[in-house]
C-alpha cells in the first residue's frame, strides 16, 4: 500500500514539473538573453493580474521568459513585455 502511494505521489510530482517546464517565467534582466518579440495587455485591475495576463500571452507565443517593459494606468492597467527565448 505504501509503495502505491509513493508511486502515485511521484507520478503527480513529475506531471506538475513537466507542465510548469513549458510555462514562461518573468525575468529580472534581458542581459545575455535573446529577445525576439513583445506582447501587451490592457484592462487589468491590479499588477498581479497584469503580470498573469502578460505571462499567458508569452506562453501562447512560446516564450521561455518575459521582461515587463512598461506598466501604467489609473483604474485599469495596461502593460507590455519583451519575449525571451
Provide the residue-wise pLDDT of the chain in tens; the chain has 85 residues.
544 444 444 444 433 333 344 467 878 777 888 889 999 999 999 999 999 999 999 999 999 989 999 999 989 999 999 999 8
**Which pLDDT value is given to residue 10?**
41
* Pair 41, 54: CB distance under 8 Å: yes
**Which pLDDT value is given to residue 4?**
47
Which tens digit of pLDDT belongs to each residue from 32-50?
A: 888 899 999 999 999 999 9
pTM of the model: 0.69
Nearest partner of 35 among 58, 55, 52, judged by Cα: 58
Domain 2-84, second-level architecture? 2-Layer Sandwich (3.30)
Q: Which residues of 35-73 are buried (b: 16+ CB within 10 A; e: fewer)?
A: eeebbebeebeeeeebbebbbebbbeeebbbbbbeebee
Rg over alpha carbons for the chain, rounded to the nearest Å, is 17
Amino acid at each position: 500500500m505504501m509503495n502505491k502511494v509513493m508511486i502515485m505521489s511521484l507520478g503527480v510530482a513529475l506531471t506538475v514539473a513537466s507542465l510548469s517546464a513549458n510555462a514562461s517565467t518573468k525575468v529580472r534582466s534581458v542581459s545575455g538573453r535573446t529577445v525576439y518579440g513583445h506582447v501587451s495587455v490592457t484592462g487589468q485591475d491590479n499588477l498581479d493580474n497584469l503580470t498573469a495576463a502578460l505571462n499567458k500571452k508569452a506562453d501562447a507565443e512560446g516564450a521561455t521568459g518575459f521582461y515587463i517593459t512598461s506598466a501604467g494606468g489609473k483604474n485599469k492597467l495596461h502593460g507590455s513585455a519583451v519575449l525571451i527565448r
